[in-house]
């Protein structure tokens, strides 16, 4: 496809190369005005309302640290899954249980990608909470974390790519999408950084859709672009005051709608159809914010149920209430947490296994591990919408 094949509304152009042309997006800000009409403003209001509800979670629950950890890990699992990793949330908890005090445990590549995503999201969010701006230097440092111990030989990490990349189309009949040549990346990324720091052109959620499109279209890294771009979404929501904690995990929406995600961004590139992309993107924010809120409500209901069923100070009752702080653990953890004998710890665990609160996960006779099954059912359930 040649430059002349694109309409004037397209926010970029094709440049001939072999075997497929580069697509080079225009630098931000956009030269074409986007019409933010009443219908789009209503969607923005809905998404803002849902974001406000999840941001009010922390003061309302007394297990917010585990909620924070759980939602960060959900995002890490989902973002890695988009890239092909196959890891469950309880595997991440199991790893952290096994490595407490021992950081030299071997892990699979898939799990390492999830752990890296968890670490990078936490580091980036903490930086923004401490008042740091979103900079290219911050993004490059997070990219380095994302690729730690999973980089392919020869890949550049923590820097912009020095080679060209080709992104396959979801359709066999459609040629691959080729982001701009690597020589164009620094200038395009600089304009993106300035746009974010200057506050954009539109409502923050519209600007978020624009900057996500721009980041993914520039595709500044050799690998890890999707993971880094989705972290950037959460960082921008924090910087704009929507999130005081990373209680949103947007990757799940993009994971469920992969083909539409790719199609709508390509439509922006080739036809300038911003409206359809922005609607899709903001709907994703609204859906995921609502999902986080609903999961939290279910956890709060479950906690109230456990408090009524296990109101006493015996170890099994304290453990039932304590699974909201540590939902995956060993008998040694129970021993240490409640300062009880090993036998008392096992007796408490066995009582809750019998009640259906806990399940043993390893199938081993020794070094057994337990998870709070109701909590993980809530965390891992597929969304209703």
Inform me whether the pLDDT recorded for 363 exceeds 80: yes
Give the separation between CA 113 and CA 95, rounded to whole angstroms: 13
Q: How confident is the model at residue 98 (pLDDT cuts 50, 70, 90)?
A: confident
- Residue-range domain boundaries for the chain: 3-295, 311-380
pTM of the model as a whole = 0.93
Mean pLDDT of 44-63: 86
**Residue 278, helix vs strand vs coil:** helix
Mean pLDDT of 124-132: 96
Inform me whether the pLDDT recorded for 307 exceeds 80: yes
Inform me whether the pLDDT recorded for 349 exceeds 60: yes
The architecture in CATH of the region 311-380 reads: Orthogonal Bundle (1.10)
What is the pLDDT, as a whole number, of residue 104? 66
Mean pLDDT of 20-29: 96
What is the pLDDT, as a whole number, of residue 263? 95
Inform me whether the pLDDT recorded for 285 exceeds 90: yes
Measured in residues, the chain has a length of 385
If we measure between CA atoms, which residue out of 144, 113, 44, 371 comes closest to residue 251?
113
Give the separation between CA 188 and CA 190, rounded to whole angstroms: 5
The architecture in CATH of the region 3-295 reads: Orthogonal Bundle (1.10)
Mean pLDDT score of the chain: 92
**Residue 180 near residue 27 (C-beta atoms within 8 A):** no
Inform me whether the pLDDT recorded for 4 exceeds 60: no
The tens digit of pLDDT for each residue in 183-195 reads: 999 999 999 999 9
Q: How confident is the model at residue 2 (pLDDT cuts 50, 70, 90)?
A: very low
């Amino acid at each position: 496809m040649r430059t002349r094949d694109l309409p004037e509304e397209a926010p970029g152009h094709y440049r001939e190369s072999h075997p497929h042309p580069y697509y080079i997006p225009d630098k931000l800000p956009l030269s074409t005005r986007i019409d933010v009409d009443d219908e789009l403003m209503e969607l923005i209001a809905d998404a803002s309302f849902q974001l406000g509800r999840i941001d009010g979670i922390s003061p309302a629950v007394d297990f917010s640290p585990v909620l924070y950890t759980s939602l960060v890990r959900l995002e890490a699992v989902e973002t890695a899954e988009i890239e092909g990793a196959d890891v469950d949330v309880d595997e991440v908890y199991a790893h952290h249980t096994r490595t407490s005090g021992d950081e030299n445990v071997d892990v699979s590549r898939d799990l390492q990608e999830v752990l890296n995503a968890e670490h990078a999201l936490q580091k980036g969010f903490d930086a923004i909470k401490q008042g740091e701006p979103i900079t290219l230097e911050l993004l490059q440092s997070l990219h380095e974390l994302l690729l730690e111990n999973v980089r392919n030989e020869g890949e550049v990490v923590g820097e912009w790519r020095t080679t060209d990349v080709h992104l396959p189309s979801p359709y066999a009949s459609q040629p691959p999408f080729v982001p701009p040549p690597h020589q164009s990346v620094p200038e395009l990324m600089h304009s993106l950084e300035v746009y974010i720091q200057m506050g954009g052109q539109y409502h923050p959620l519209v600007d978020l859709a624009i900057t996500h499109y721009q980041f993914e279209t520039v595709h500044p890294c050799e690998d890890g672009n999707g993971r880094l771009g989705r972290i950037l979404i959460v960082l921008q929501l924090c910087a704009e005051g929507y999130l005081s904690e990373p209680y949103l995990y947007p990757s799940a929406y993009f994971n469920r709608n992969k083909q539409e995600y790719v199609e709508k961004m390509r439509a922006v590139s080739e036809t300038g159809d911003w409206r359809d992309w922005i609607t899709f993107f903001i709907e994703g924010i609204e859906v995921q914010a609502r999902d986080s809120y609903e999961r939290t409500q279910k956890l709060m209901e479950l906690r109230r149920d456990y408090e009524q069923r296990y109101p006493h100070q015996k170890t099994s009752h304290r453990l039932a209430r304590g699974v909201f702080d540590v939902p995956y653990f060993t008998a040694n953890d129970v021993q240490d947490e409640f300062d009880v004998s090993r036998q008392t710890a096992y007796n408490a665990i066995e009582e809750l296994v019998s009640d259906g609160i806990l399940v043993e996960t390893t199938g081993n006779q020794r070094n057994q591990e337990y998870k709070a099954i109701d909590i993980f059912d809530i965390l891992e359930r597929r969304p209703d919408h």
